[in-house]
């Protein structure tokens, strides 16, 4: 594939005008001003378009598109206890398959090429990930507050094993299995230590919720006398490469612990605002040299998986909170949404457009009126764009989305099934 005469955001987030990109197989083989002679592959006209590396959504519960807008207007505990958990208890692998397809379609349309997920029914999610072509680090969100379950005899272990075997069998590096501990407030110390030890003895990454609400901090201190960050440190969790979602409430040594243990933060601004959790101290994290990335969280608390909105919100929010219009430049935001996340996912040849890297490329249509005029390409991309401006999403050299069409997703079938599932589950929930 040859992308001709395009404006490119390069690996340094500099804007290179009127250049050409050649993709061979899964990789970028050439970037430059010269158009290869007699090129006989597929040629894409890049005029008035801008190519950037694909975005990586580092915290998601992808099947939760099924619960979009469900139980709105309730306090958090009633929302979870009366609405979300009962609905989820009825979800099957097939339900999660369709929920994931819907979620992945939203991600493709908003430039996401890879995501980190934490949920259950991994077989359904895996099927959707496999079919669509998206990259994913999947994990089973282990929760057992009473410590009654034996991790190694439960679904989390079983499904993680299944995932690893599947990945081995099809010999792919597109899908990775991570280990997940849901959160401090949904687990007991003994299990957390055992699961952490298990993860540390593999090459899998860890994915957790961390310091999301004030209540979580308060309860953790009451139960264990330490902050959630210290709790996971003490349990050995951070010995694995860890992505910690939220980190709204960090204090004292928390920052240093996260940096020293190379913990990556998945900043989820929409979800943190919508659930009334608060606003994460992004500036302090960056000052402490913590690896920060961006996540949409699940659609139930967002209420979409639109990464463009999430990036835009992160870019705006912390300028206001810190009263500093120069904080988080467009280049810094780009890095947070791509390269930092690729590193966290363990994908060293992703997260930037350069020769030799995977061809994970997103193309914006800059011809749309609200993208005109172009005084500053990156500013338009971060502050003016919306997800419908994305006209092409390429993953490992394959076009997965183009001009409203999903290569590998039958959207009509997906929407039909989403509505069927919604009706069925609501009947079950209200019984």
Binding residues: 59, 61, 88, 182, 209, 212, 297
Residue in this structure with the two tokens 């792919």, named with its chain if needed: 172
From the list 12-20, 21-29, 290-298, 412-420, the region that binds a second copy by CB under 8 A is: 412-420
Nearer to a second copy, 217 or 359 (CB): 217
Q: Which two tokens stand for residue 118?
A: 């934490």
* Pairing relationship of beta strands 242-246 and 264-267 according to DSSP bridges: parallel
Q: Which is nearer to a second copy, 188 or 273 (CB)?
A: 273
User: How far from chain centre, in Å, is Cα 70?
Assistant: 21
Minimum separation from the CB atom of position 300 to a second copy (A): 9
Known binding-site residues for substrate equal: 88, 182, 212, 297
407 forms part of the interface with a second copy (CB under 8 A)? no
Q: Which is nearer to a second copy, 173 or 376 (CB)?
A: 376
Write down the least CB distance from residue 304 to a second copy, Å. Answer: 5
Report the DSSP beta bridge partners of residue 45: 4
**How far apart are the C-alpha atoms of 269 and 88, rounded to whole Å?**
24
Does 77 engage in binding with a second copy (CB under 8 A)?
Answer: no
Distance (Å, whole) CA 335 – CA 11: 9
Neighbouring C-alpha atoms within 13 Å toward the C-beta of 418: 18
Kindly identify the residues of this chain, within the stretch 301-340, that bind a second copy according to CB under 8 A.
302-306, 309, 312-313, 316-317, 319-327, 329-330
Contact set for a second copy, span 6-45 (CB under 8 A): none
Q: Which is nearer to a second copy, 106 or 144 (CB)?
A: 106
- For residue 297, the SS3 value is coil
211 near a second copy (CB under 8 A): no
- Which of 170, 287, 419, 428 contacts a second copy by CB under 8 A? 419
Name the minimum Å distance from CB 65 to a second copy: 8
- Indicate whether 70 belongs to the interface with a second copy (CB under 8 A): yes
Q: Rule CB under 8 A: is residue 383 a binding residue for a second copy?
A: yes
Per CB under 8 A, 369 contacts a second copy:
yes
> Sign of dihedral through CA atoms 354, 359, 393, 417?
negative
Tokens of 330: 């467009």
Residue with Cβ nearer a second copy (14 or 367):
367
Pair of tokens at residue 40: 């006989």
Q: Which CB atom, from 191 or from 213, has the smaller least distance to a second copy?
A: 213
Task: Say if CB 126 and CB 138 are below 8 A apart.
Answer: yes
Token duo for residue 354: 């350069």
Nearer to a second copy (CB atom), residue 121 or residue 303:
303
What letter would DSSP give residue 380?
I
287 binds a second copy (CB under 8 A): no
Q: Do β-strands 135-142 and 112-119 pair in parallel, antiparallel, or remain unpaired? A: parallel
Tell me, residue by residue from 183 to 202, as one string, x for binding to a second copy by CB under 8 A and - for no binding: --------------------
Q: Before 303, cis peptide (omega within 30)?
A: yes
Contacts of 198 (CB under 8 A, 6+ apart): 151, 152, 179
Residue 40 neighbours by CB under 8 Å, 6+ apart: none
CA 287 – CA 404 distance, rounded (Å): 40
Using rule CB under 8 A, residue 291 touches a second copy = no
50-69 residues near a second copy, rule: CB under 8 A: 65-69
| Residue 86 binds a second copy, judged by CB under 8 A | no
The Cα–Cα gap between 124 and 109 comes to: 21
Question: What is the x/- site pattern for a second copy, positions 232-271, by CB under 8 A?
Answer: -------------------------------------xx-
8 A C-beta contact, residue 343 and residue 18: no
Distance CA 96, CA 67 (A): 11
Cα–Cα dist 195/139, whole Å: 13
Name the minimum Å distance from CB 47 to a second copy: 14
**Is the Cα torsion angle 154, 157, 160, 161 positive or negative in sign?**
negative
Nearer to a second copy, 159 or 216 (CB): 216
Q: Give yes or no for residue 375 binding a second copy (CB under 8 A).
A: yes
Closest separation in Å from C-beta 73 to a second copy: 6
CB 267 within 8 A of CB 282: yes
Annotated binding-site members for Zn(2+): 59, 61, 209, 297
Site size for a second copy (CB under 8 A): 73
Q: Identify residues 87-146 at the interface with a second copy (CB under 8 A).
A: 102, 105-106, 109
Task: CB nearer to a second copy: give 26 or 283.
Answer: 283
Q: Name the residue nearer to a second copy (CB basis): 23 or 363.
A: 363
CB of residue 259 to a second copy, shortest distance in Å:
25
């Amino acid at each position: 594939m040859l992308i001709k005469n395009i404006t490119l955001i390069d690996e340094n987030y500099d804007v290179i005008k009127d250049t050409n990109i050649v993709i061979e197989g899964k990789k970028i083989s050439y970037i430059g001003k010269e158009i290869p002679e007699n090129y006989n592959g597929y040629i894409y006209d890049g005029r008035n378009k801008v190519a950037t590396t694909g975005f990586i959504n580092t915290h998601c519960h992808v099947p939760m598109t099924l619960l979009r807008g469900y139980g709105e207007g309730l306090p958090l505990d009633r929302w979870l206890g009366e609405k979300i958990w009962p609905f989820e208890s009825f979800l099957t692998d097939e339900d999660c398959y369709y929920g994931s397809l819907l979620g992945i379609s939203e991600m493709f349309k908003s430039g996401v090429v890879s995501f980190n997920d934490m949920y259950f029914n991994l077989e359904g999610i895996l099927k959707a990930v496999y079919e669509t072509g998206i990259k994913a680090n999947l994990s089973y969100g282990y929760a057992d507050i009473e410590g009654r379950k034996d991790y190694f005899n439960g679904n989390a272990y079983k499904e993680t094993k299944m995932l690893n075997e599947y990945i081995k069998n099809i010999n792919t590096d597109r899908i990775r299995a991570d280990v997940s501990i849901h959160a401090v407030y949904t687990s007991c110390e003994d299990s957390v230590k055992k699961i952490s030890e298990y993860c540390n003895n593999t090459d899998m990454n860890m994915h957790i919720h961390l310091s999301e609400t004030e209540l979580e901090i308060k309860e953790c201190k009451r139960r264990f006398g330490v902050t959630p960050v210290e709790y996971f440190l003490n349990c050995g969790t951070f010995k694995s490469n860890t992505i910690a979602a939220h980190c709204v409430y960090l204090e004292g040594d928390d920052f240093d612990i996260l940096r020293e243990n190379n913990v990556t933060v998945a900043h989820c601004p929409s979800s943190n605002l919508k659930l009334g959790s608060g606003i994460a101290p992004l500036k302090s994290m960056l000052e402490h040299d913590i690896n920060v990335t961006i996540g949409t969280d699940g659609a139930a608390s967002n209420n979409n998986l639109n990464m463009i909105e999430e990036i835009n919100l992160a870019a705006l929010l912390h300028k206001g909170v810190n009263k500093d219009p120069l904080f988080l430049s467009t280049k810094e935001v780009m890095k947070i949404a791509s390269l930092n996340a690729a590193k966290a996912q363990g994908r060293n040849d992703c997260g930037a457009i350069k020769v030799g890297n995977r061809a994970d490329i997103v193309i914006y249509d800059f011809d749309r009126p609200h993208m005109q005029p172009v005084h500053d390409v990156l500013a338009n991309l971060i502050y003016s764009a919306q997800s419908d401006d994305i006209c092409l999403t390429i993953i490992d050299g394959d076009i997965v989305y183009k001009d409203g069409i999903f290569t590998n997703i039958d959207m009509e079938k997906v929407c039909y099934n989403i509505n069927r599932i919604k009706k069925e589950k609501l009947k079950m929930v209200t019984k």
